[in-house]
Structure 1
């Protein structure tokens, strides 16, 4: 296994398990439409939170979805590596 893939896999295994999601907190004033802060949470536990106004939602969604996306991608990499190995063996044996 590639060193970088191995390191990514280790980080995934150490991270808080479960589906992460974005929670937005708005200013208390009714005329304020801006987000005051946002957090990435899992089962009511805060993973990370920003306290600046109007965070980039695409960035927050990316962070929250990385918890599910990265394990999926790692699994796909493993499947593809196994398929490459099988095809390599077949090629070496001349079996198509």
Structure 2
């Protein structure tokens, strides 16, 4: 499980990177550029064949994928089982995934029931 600090570090790296979107562009017969759109600034390059090309496509897509994944992690961490005033558990939103003291222990207990 990622800690809040690890997620914050990933978010900081994404925010410091050249703004996206990024795309791949064939530079020449042997190299593939990863460029920002619309500026066409070259971010990096890799081989245009084999694993290098697959890595290049991954890098280009990661610029938009990482912020989306971070947002989804945050959304899911806010969605937790919470106890209502009658002591019944239900799905609900908490300010943060650890909003209630011991929520992880309560969830584990519920899984074992």
State the TM-score bracket (shorter-chain normalisation): 0.7 to 0.9
Residues 47/89 of structure 1: CA separation in 2 closer, same or farther (3 Å cut): farther
Tell me which of 45, 49, 60 is aligned to 1:49: 45
Q: Distance in 2 between matches of 1:72 and 1:16?
A: 16
Tell me which of 62, 65, 68 is aligned to 1:66: 62
Task: Note the alpha carbon deviations across 1:25-53, whole angstroms, 9 max, x for none.
Answer: 23xxxxxxxx3211110021011123x56
Higher RCO, 1 or 2 (CA under 8 Å, sep at least 6)?
A: 1
User: What is the aligned residue count?
Assistant: 85
Residue 88 of structure 1 corresponds to: 82
Q: Distance in 2 between matches of 1:92 and 1:2?
A: 31
Residue 2 of structure 1 corresponds to: 4
4+ aligned runs moved over 4 Å, structure 1? 89-92
SS in 1 for 2:82: helix
TM-score relative to the length of structure 2: 0.64
Report the RMSD for the aligned CA atoms in angstroms: 2.3
| Structure 2 segments unaligned to the other structure (5+ residues) | 91-113
TM-score relative to the length of structure 1: 0.74
Larger helix share, 1 or 2:
1
1:20 to partner: Cα distance: 0.3
| Structure 1 segments unaligned to the other structure (5+ residues) | 27-34
SS in 2 for 1:88: strand
